Amino acid sequence: MQITKSKTAFDEAKKVIPGGVDSPVRAFKSVGGTPLFIEKGEGAYIYDIDGNRYVDFVQSWGPLIHGHCDEDIQDAVIDAVKKGLSFGAPTTVETELAKEICEMFDSIEKIRFVSSGTEAVMSAIRLARGYTNKDDIVKFEGCYHGHSDSLLVQAGSGAATFGTPSSPGVPADFTKHTLLAKYNDIQSVKKCFENSQDIACVIIEPIAGNMGLVPAEEEFLEELRELCDKNGALLIFDEVMSGFRAHLKGAQGLIKTKPDIVTFGKVIGGGMPVGAFGARKDIMDKLSPDGPVYQAGTLSGNPVAMNAGLASLAKLKKNPTIYDKLEMLAKRLTDGLKEAAKQNDIPLQTCVRGSMFGFFFNDKEVKNFDDALKSDTKMFAKFHSKMLENGVYLACSQFETGFICTKMDEKLIDDVVKTAEKVFKEIS
Ligand SMILES: *Cc1c(COP(=O)(O)O)cnc(C)c1O
């Protein structure tokens, strides 16, 4: 496989863009090699600028549940573009999309649109603080909530200690209000509540997708709900990834626990930059202009992006069995990978939630970030690069989630499994 054009393009990009990329994971640092520069997509496939074709399990990191160049979404975008790109004034399509989502989620009576997941979560946190008049927040090791200052606190520090920033440029003063807890470990959350009477909210990915795929246990979420209620804190579900991916209603379609605030991104924009956060009326009414909590955006609710999101969600809603099919394909893939790995004595843990799938090169089940970190990342890097050489584009890190799209079928999955069988033999 030739990737000379991608290599040249990467060298050129590095001269004028830090690391050659506009988002760090794209640089392939954790697996080595050259990131591919993409020319175009088509259904389940992407093509690089050297003309190689790949089955795409990244799908722009989640948004493209209908695959590339879906005609209905393209038509919706083109129609909108012809009427103008942006007005900075209300359009009816915002209300339409808002209605769709409020109808879908019991936990949401009002919603506001922004332009990214980062912005959605950052605003949700401000709203929770404004609503409760408290400053501290609890987040979990290994959960990613975008790159805003107070959320750039990760693993490393023990549970229930005040977080230290994980990036230079974030003052420790900004993260001293962020308490860290351990995923699926309710004791660690109890400790946070013992250490602070000032907790505004607990934020969690109810199906974690940013440490690999690690779902929260139902009982754990129930206990979180109780702890929040008992202490007057809000529970935020970050469904930027799991929303419309794990199920039409995200994690909330699969579990009983109800959050106070929900954040969205990725699929909600159908491939365009959209984020959103929603909650009950009494919480959302604290937002400016009705309430005192300020939040704004020049391109928020952009009509082109709203039309893409609406078209994407309409297709999902019209076809409720779609998630069964996506989950069946995801299971077929992970079962195939697991069997192929086993035949070569490679331990592999797999997990599926709707169209989301994950696999760890790990001999134990992964329930939290510490477990995930014990995975064999060298083995992952070898697997990733060989699969890529054989036309399969997987996320370039052991700690990411893979995605199935509606343009995939059993034949495509079986071919990928065959490729994996060959690759496992080579790397074992
Ligand atoms: C991707 C992601 C974000 C950040 O969204 P951006 O659109 O990249 O800013 C936040 N939370 C979760 C759970 C995500 O997966």
CB of 110 within 6 A of ligand 1: the answer is no
CB of 238 within 6 A of ligand 1: the answer is yes
CB of 241 within 6 A of ligand 1: the answer is yes
CA 42 to chain centroid: 22
Given the CA of residue 239, which atom of ligand 1 is nearest to it? 13
CB of 116 within 6 A of ligand 1: the answer is yes
Structure tokens at 317: 């809603």
Structure tokens at 79: 């129609």
What distance in angstroms lies between residue 147's CA and the mean position of ligand 1's atoms?
8
DSSP 316-343: HHH-TTHHHHHHHHHHHHHHHHHHHHHH
Note the pTM of the prediction, 2 decimals: 0.96
What distance in angstroms lies between residue 5's CA and the mean position of ligand 1's atoms?
30
* Mean pLDDT, the chain, integer: 95
Given the CA of residue 23, which atom of ligand 1 is nearest to it? 8
Dist CA 65 CA 78 (whole Å): 19
Which of 22, 145, 203, 242 for mutating ligand 1's site (highest number of atoms within 8 Å of CB)? 145
pLDDT in tens, 403-413: 999 999 999 99
Arch. (CATH architecture) of 71-318: 3-Layer(aba) Sandwich (3.40)
Lowest mean pLDDT among 233-237, 269-273, 299-303, 320-324: 320-324
Share of the chain above pLDDT 90, in %: 91
Q: Which residues are catalytic?
A: 144, 238, 266
Given the CA of residue 275, which atom of ligand 1 is nearest to it? 7
* Residue (of 210, 312, 215) closest to 254 by Cα position: 215
pLDDT in tens, 19-48: 999 998 899 988 888 999 999 999 999 999
Mean pLDDT score, 271-293:
98
Strand 45-48 to 214-215 pairing:
unpaired
Domain ranges of the chain: 4-69+321-427, 71-318
CB of 260 within 6 A of ligand 1: the answer is no
pLDDT in tens, 123-178: 999 999 999 999 999 999 999 999 898 888 863 333 334 556 778 888 888 888 99
What distance in angstroms lies between residue 419's CA and the mean position of ligand 1's atoms?
31
- Please say if the pLDDT value at position 213 is more than 50: yes
Is the omega angle on the peptide bond into residue 24 within 30 degrees of 0, that is, cis?
no
Q: At what angle do helices 303-318 and 71-83 cross, to 10 degrees?
A: 150
What distance in angstroms lies between residue 149's CA and the mean position of ligand 1's atoms?
14
What Cα–Cα distance (Å) separates residue 88 from each residue in 84, 304, 311, 402? 11, 12, 21, 35
Q: Domain 4-69+321-427's class?
A: alpha beta
